[in-house]
Amino acid sequence: MSNRLHPRSFLWGLLPLLALLLATPARALDGNALLKQLDHNLEPESYEMYRKLINIEPDGKKKEYVLYTVKKGRDKMVALFLDPPSDKGRATLRLGDNMWLYIPNVGKPLRITSLQSVVGGVFNNADILALDYSVEYNVDKVEETGSSYILSLKARTAAVAYDRLKVWVDKATVLPVTIEAYAASGLLIKALHFSDIKDFGGGIKRPSVMETDSPLYKGYKSVMLYSSLRARSFPDEVFTLNYLPRAGELR
Amino acid sequence: MRRLFCACLSLWLPSAAAHESYSFDVSQFEKKPFEFNGYAELKAEQFTFDRRAALYQLGFFDQPPRDDFDRGTGSLQLEGLYRHGIATAHVLAYGSYTHDDTGNDRDTRFYEASVSVQPSSHATYDLGKKTLSWGKGYAWNPIGFVQRAKDPNDPELSREGFVIADGDFVRSFDSTLKTIALTPLVVPTTAGINTDFGTADHLNPAAKVYFLYADTDIDLMMLGAGAKSARYGVDFSRNLGTNLELHGEWAHITDAARPVVDSAGNITPVEASATSYLVGLRYLSDSLLTTILEYYYNGAGYSEGEMRTFSSVVHDAYDQYQATGNAMPLTKLRIALQPAMAKPNPGRRYLYLRLSQQEPFDILYFTPALTTIVNADDRSYSVAPELLYTGVTNLELRFRVFWLHGARLTDFGEKQNDRRVELRARYYF
């Protein structure tokens, strides 16, 4: 009897090993890499864009705001109110965890906190001046469902507005579908729902509508519409208190 | 038939709501070379006078006695902007018409009228009338060397500027020191320019240096001797968490002058260096209650004893006027001391507390607030509840009541009114 292994026996012997390999994922999912990919898909690193915020009351009454926003790098952002006239010229600046609000009548930027709201309603300053998720959060856990990844995020520092986020990410596009924001106590503060994926040009394809509701504001809803999002670079000096009163000149 | 129609409608409505679509035409917000906006405002006020108060007696001794005073004011603020290349012209004009129990009054003025040139993102040059706003304090700014004092009862009101020439130079860094900015300026005074800044024929150089260092705003500022005595100061502001901000100011004024009256009625100018400071915080609770708390030490202000003496001398002069008709002592006091004593807070130590609750009971755009200012020396105070509603786009409605409390010869006890009711409607366009 020959000691030589018969090819068919060899294949049969490999089968259990093959089955084992197939049962185990090729590699564990890297949550933080996934979050970075999501950030990259949402916005270029430096950009300008226009946003409309709509606060909707339970009786259907609406109040709308239009903002021009510029961002540079990981943590520099300016948002300038263009409409309505009662808010025109107000500008907010974010540099890392620092936030300021410039009100033309007051004539100087005031430090504000991320949980305050300059527009009222469900959106607060942290929503309007939101940085990349991967800058503010670490991924604690990744789960998979049929068409989504579910990322559990924990704030990197106590200065971040929401202690935890739960993010439903569409597997095919690696874009957010729903984000739930929780306080440190575990209280659900708000939920963000993304929809209407639009091609903004320059390789940017992302949701153009974000709807927000909150158990703290039952029956109320806030909507953010995105437009004219494009990559653009800015000098660092644009993101300073001295430049804030002149933010309108950037457009 | 109607029932059937209603049933159909009720079936259709939820589906319509579920598929609500939103529109955003960004073209209507494109940048234009010319911009124009402003507001129109109507304000009604009713004062309840305290006829035994020193400031009432000083202000109204030569008028028929009155317990109440009504005032209505209509005002218009217009702002225009014109861009051409790297230059921008900016105008802020204010006009008001006031009708009260003593007659009518009109006021029109340019709060600002300046040209800015911005050759790069690092540098800007301004020439013209401009309102500067130095300092981190909400109610007071002891380091506001080149601006008109703000009204602590309405700190966010627009203020008239001065004619200045300034430069603004900014650099950013990717380090613990994130920003440094230098703002040198001059506030020239002549017989026709900046007459209310100080004496004429001075250049009045000033400068501010700003640092954003270790997430803390720090400003150093100075005003050279000229129309006013030399003064210098420092301020800071820092967030201690997502809901707590801390700020402070410190100022030193050389040779601060103020008129002081002694118990015999002699008025003498007192000149001495003065140090003032302010510390404050802003806190936002989980229930969206914003607290602003500030302590202000005004080294150039009047001590409790000086204020008591002033009130006592006015009462004596008023009694003399009532008995003899001799208005000379009151007139002298009015000319020399009323401008200083009728300021909102002429004393030395004050506490400011403002509590404002954002959107209570889920009422969007509704903000009730309560503000109190306490003279920490004599314990007199004012308290002002306020209701603010901004739910109608571009319309702001504000209702406030001020109550002033204090014993005789105290700061708030000797103000001309005990109560003020104010209703303001402002429409932006």
Phi and psi angles of residue B129, each rounded to the nearest 5 degrees, phi first? -85, 125
Q: How many residues does chain A have?
A: 251
Subunit contact A116:B156, Cβ cutoff 8 A:
no
Going by C-alpha positions, the residue among B235, B119, B120 that lies closest to residue A236 is B120
C-alpha span between A221 and A211 (Å, rounded): 7
Spans of chain A below 50 pLDDT: 1-5, 20-26
Subunit contact A249:B393, Cβ cutoff 8 A:
no
Task: Give the pLDDT mean for B314-339.
Answer: 95
Structure confidence at residue B8 (pLDDT): 41
Task: Give the pLDDT mean for B1-23.
Answer: 47
Domains of chain B: 33-428 (2.40.160.10)
Subunit contact A220:B183, Cβ cutoff 8 A:
no
| CB < 8 Å to B239, chain A | 97-99, 111, 113, 159
Condensed to tens digits (0 to 9), the pLDDT of residues B161-209 reads 999 999 999 999 999 999 999 999 999 999 999 999 999 999 999 999 9
Subunit contact A113:B178, Cβ cutoff 8 A:
no
C-alpha span between B375 and B348 (Å, rounded): 8
Domain A30-250, what fold?
outer membrane lipoprotein receptor (LolB), chain A (2.50.20)
User: Cis bond leading into A84, ω under 30°?
Assistant: yes
Q: How many CB atoms lie within 10 A of CB B339?
A: 11
Structure confidence at residue B263 (pLDDT): 93
C-alpha span between B223 and B225 (Å, rounded): 7
Contact B57, B315 (CB under 8 A): yes
B6 pLDDT tier (thresholds 50, 70, 90): very low
| CB < 8 Å to A238, chain B | 121
Distance of CA B230 to the CA centre of its chain: 24
| CB < 8 Å to B181, chain A | 240-242
Subunit contact A113:B239, Cβ cutoff 8 A:
yes
Percentage of residues in chain B with pLDDT exceeding 70?
95
Going by C-alpha positions, the residue among A90, A148, A92, A81 that lies closest to residue A125 is A92
Q: Does B243 touch chain A (CB under 8 A)?
A: yes
Q: Indicate the domain borders of chain A.
A: 30-250
Subunit contact B83:A249, Cβ cutoff 8 A:
yes
Pick from B364, B388, B394 the residue to mutate for testing the A interface (most A CBs within 10 Å): B364
Locate tokens 């990349």: which residue? A132
Adjacent-strand bridge partners of B382: B373, B404
Taking a contact as any Cβ pair under 8 Å apart, which residues of chain A between 52 and 111 contact chain B? 52, 54-55, 57, 61, 63-64, 66, 68, 82-86, 88-89, 95-99, 103-108, 110-111
| CB < 8 Å to A117, chain B | 358
Nearest neighbour of A97 by CB, restricted to B79, B215, B237: B215
Subunit contact A86:B428, Cβ cutoff 8 A:
yes
Structure confidence at residue A226 (pLDDT): 95
Please give the residue of chain B at the shortest CA–CA distance from A55: B364
As a three-state string, the secondary structure of chain A is CCCCCCHHHHHHHHHHHHHHHHHCCCCCCCHHHHHHHHHHHHCCCCEEEEEEEEEECCCCCEEEEEEEEEEECCCEEEEEEEECCCCCCCEEEEECCEEEEECCCCCCEEEECCCCCCCCCCCCHHHHCCCCHHHHEEEEEEEECCCEEEEEEEECCCCCCCCEEEEEEECCCCEEEEEEEECCCCCEEEEEEEEEEEEEECCEEEEEEEEEEECCEEEEEEEEEEEEEEECCCCHHHHCCCCHHHHHHHC
Token pair for A127: 């929503």
Closest-CA distance, B130 to chain A, in angstroms, reads 10
Task: Give the pLDDT mean for B35-39.
Answer: 95
Contact B251, B142 (CB under 8 A): yes
Structure confidence at residue B155 (pLDDT): 93
Condensed to tens digits (0 to 9), the pLDDT of residues B123-132 reads 999 999 999 9
Return mean pLDDT, chain B. 93
Contact A167, A151 (CB under 8 A): yes
Please give the residue of chain B at the shortest CA–CA distance from A249: B31
Condensed to tens digits (0 to 9), the pLDDT of residues B255-307 reads 988 999 999 999 999 999 999 999 999 998 888 899 999 999 999 999 999 99
B20 pLDDT tier (thresholds 50, 70, 90): low
Instruction: Estimate the share of chain B in helix, then strand, then coil, as percent rounded to the nearest 5.
Output: 15, 50, 30
Percentage of residues in chain B with pLDDT exceeding 90?
88
Q: Does A135 touch chain B (CB under 8 A)?
A: no
Token pair for A170: 């569409």
Distance of CA A14 to the CA centre of its chain: 46
ipTM field: 0.85
Condensed to tens digits (0 to 9), the pLDDT of residues B262-272 reads 999 999 999 99
